[in-house]
Amino acid sequence: MEDYLSFGEREAGVSFNPAQREDVAFVKSKYAEIIDFLYKVRKESKSEDQKRWCFIAITDAAKAKMAAVESLFR
């Protein structure tokens, strides 16, 4: 896993889980899937508007992942 991480896995920080918590790994993996899907759509799109909205969605998904992980520690 350390050798190759997808864009979504890097953005979601799946390799950083010092406590090895399953709930954290689960949340990060789901957000990584969403981010990878949006990244693929963005890469394949010919529409500048669609590319922009994918970029926004990826950014917001990364923020939501951070909030979701933080919520697990509260």
Residue-level pLDDT at 3: 74
Hey, what are 5's tokens?
Answer: 């991480």
pTM across the whole model? 0.91
Q: So what's the pLDDT on residue 27?
A: 98
Give the domain range for residue 11.
Answer: 7-72
Q: What's the pLDDT at 16?
A: 97
pLDDT tens for the chain, 74 residues long, are: 557 999 999 999 999 999 999 999 999 999 999 999 999 999 999 999 999 999 999 999 999 999 999 999 99
- Count of structural domains, the chain: 1
In a domain, 24, yes or no: yes
- The answer as to whether 68 is a domain residue is yes
